[in-house]
Amino acid sequence: MMASVTAETKTMDCLHFINGKYCSSVDHKTFENINPATEEVIGTVAEGGKKEIDLAVTAARKALNGPWKEISTQERSKIIRRIGDIILKRIDELAMLETLDTGKPLWLAKQLDIPRAAYNFHFFADYMISVGTEAYEQDNIAINYAVRRPVGVVGLINPWNLPLLLLTWKLAPCLAAGNTAVMKPAEWTPMTATLLGEICKEAGVPDGVVNIVHGFGPDSAGAALSEHPDVDAISFTGETSTGTVIMQSAAKTLKKLSYELGGKNPNIIFADSDLDEVIETTIKSSFINQGEVCLSGSRIYVERPVLDAFMEKFVQKTKELTVGDPLDPNSKVGALISKEHYERVSSYLKIAREEGGNIVIGGKRPAGLDKGYYLEPTIIAGLDRNSRCVKEEIFGPVVTVLPFDKEEEVIEQANDTHYGLSATIWTNDLRRAHRVARQIEAGIIWVNTWFLRDLRTPFGGMKRSGIGREGGMHSFEFYTELSNICIKL
């Protein structure tokens, strides 16, 4: 079994998990895992490629047609529930690993990432029991009914921002629907995924049902998985540009695809809203998880009469956010994921200045933090609506604020993007809330809240923010195939 993290060294080496066993790469290749809060190496990661993906897909195919198929729905539900139970039992260890890997505050991993990972399994363990199909009587001519079967071997490709949460958001329905999985976690965050192998085994998941192959994307494990001829479907969460590449690889064997991609989400604040509530939530929708959240409300639009009042309070509350050591319970914002990402996010601050923007607060490394990829929460004002900082996903603790005068105008600006993941609207006018929500081009629209999720509801993006929806029945639609059986009477 896996040696998990030790409290003293806070290190862990990550192996693949193939056919129920931990293993190195065939050629023993590895890469280093770095803690973004300290810039220290915290372990090595097996670097997989085509060979390891081949082994994992073979194991997944065998398990699909073997032991996994033999298990009853009730029994499968119990196994899936147990995965959630074990995750909760190991919450301290998993939260610590998530924090070491991502740089996010430990309290956040404990409050959000790990409990939600467990809930993904608990939710789908319950949900799967009541999933049905359709039947139609055609007068006295025929009856039609549909049978639902697993789609097969599914590749799950994941990002680094909410590693275990997003991976289990795919794995739970994938298993609930009777599929087997080959997962490719993000190269920057391999730790919690690695542990999930032994957790699944302990829960009673047969060997080969869940496989984990570490490695990179292009010309590596990610590419090998998305072009593998014996993989039936790919569920991918990550950047829109990566989605384009995966679609090309998957096209050769016409795989079923589910995509959760980038976002540049509007946070629209009308003058009649409750400003204290707005600020409290906007602080979260802007800066929680260092702003590394696909749903982050990074484009803030404020109705002009409350612009000054909003800015004053928003800046004040932002100033109060402590940036620092993710292990310190007082840190509200941790470190960005990597050097490369830190530089990418920082490059937007330079762009903002060149574009004539005014960095109202933040925009630099916090004083006293010389090591680690820390960046102050940043508010930019005074930008043109077409500037790059307003248009492009920054994926860090950086938001823009623009004023607006009219409802129609803000709707038009909110929709002036290739993305369409989520939006928040703040207003106490009931009719306006409904009227505006219906016109916003996004998959998820919150009114007077943000990030409030009911796992039965459709989750996903329109335009270049995604293809398909996840959640409840929507996840089942993706992870199953229907066959219609027509019986002539």
- Binding residues (CB under 6 A) for ligand NAI: these are 157-161, 166, 184, 186-187, 216-218, 222-223, 226, 237-239, 242, 245-246, 260-263, 294, 393, 395, 421, 461, 466
Using left for φ > 0, alpha for ψ between -120 and 50, and beta otherwise, residue 451 falls in: left
* 135-138, strands of its sheet edge to edge: 135-138, 142-150, 480-488
Smallest separation, CB 338 to ligand NAI (Å): 9
- Minimum CB separation of residue 188 from Mg ion in Å reads 4
Residues 70-129, interacting with Mg ion (CB under 5 A): 101
Name the binder of 101 from ligand NAI, Mg ion, none, CB < 5-8 A by kind: Mg ion
Rounded Cα–Cα distance for residues 473 and 40 (Å)? 43
With CB under 5 A as the rule, give the number of residues binding Mg ion.
Answer: 3
Residue 444 — φ and ψ, nearest 5°?
-135, 125
Choice from 17, 127, 188, 395 touching Mg ion (CB under 5 A): 188
CA atoms within 13 A of residue 167's CA, in its CB half-sphere: 30
- CB of 171: closest distance to ligand NAI in angstroms? 14
Q: Active-site residue among 47, 187, 260, 470?
A: 260
| Beta-bridge mates of residue 358 | 381
Residue 342 is a binding residue for Mg ion (CB under 5 A): no
Q: 15-34: which residues touch Mg ion (CB under 5 A)?
A: 33
Dist CA 150 CA 476 (whole Å): 9
- Partner from Mg ion, ligand NAI, none contacting 239, C-beta within 5 to 8 A by type: ligand NAI
User: Cβ closer to ligand NAI: 434 or 453?
Assistant: 453
**Taking the complex as a whole, how short is the minimal distance between the CB of residue 121 and Mg ion, in angstroms?**
24
Q: Which is nearer to ligand NAI, 26 or 245 (CB)?
A: 245
Q: How far apart are CA 372 and CA 190, in angstroms?
A: 19
Q: For residue 119, what are the CA distances in angstroms to 179, 470, 487?
A: 19, 15, 40
Burial of 4 (0-12, 13-18, 19+ CB in 10 A): middle
- Residue 245 binds: one of ligand NAI, Mg ion, none (C-beta under 5 to 8 A by kind): ligand NAI
442 backbone dihedrals φ, ψ, rounded to 5°: -155, 155
Minimum CB distance to Mg ion smaller for 47 or for 101: 101
For ligand NAI, give the closer residue by CB, 404 or 476. Answer: 476
Window 33-72: contact mask with Mg ion (x via CB under 5 A): x---------------------------------------
* Integer Cα distance of 89 and 67 in angstroms: 27
* Closest chain position to ligand NAI (CB): 217
The residue among 139, 440, 180 whose CA lies nearest residue 301 is 440
Which one from 14, 174, 200, 294 is the annotated catalytic residue? 294
Rounded to a whole number of angstroms, the minimum distance from the CB of residue 216 to ligand NAI is 5
* Residues 475, 459 contacting (CB under 8 angstroms): no
| 294 a catalytic residue | yes
User: Which is nearer to ligand NAI, 114 or 433 (by Cβ)?
Assistant: 114
| Residues 302, 171: Cα–Cα separation, whole Å | 39
Nearer to Mg ion, 188 or 348 (CB): 188
Contacted by 226, from ligand NAI, Mg ion, none: CB < 5 to 8 Å by type:
ligand NAI
- Output the six-digit token pair for 265: 């989400």
Nearer to ligand NAI, 206 or 443 (CB): 443
Instruction: Report the nearest approach of Mg ion to the CB of residue 34 (Å).
Output: 6
CB of 13 to ligand NAI, least distance (A): 19
**Under the criterion CB under 5 A, does residue 373 sit at the interface with Mg ion?**
no
Crossing angle (nearest 10°) for helices 73-89 and 191-203: 130
What does each C-alpha distance from 428 to 55, 90, 225, 273, 391 come to in angstroms? Answer: 56, 42, 48, 5, 28
Q: How many angstroms separate the CA atoms of 124 and 196, rounded? A: 17
Residues that bind Mg ion (CB under 5 A): 33, 101, 188
Q: Which residues form the catalytic set?
A: 260, 294
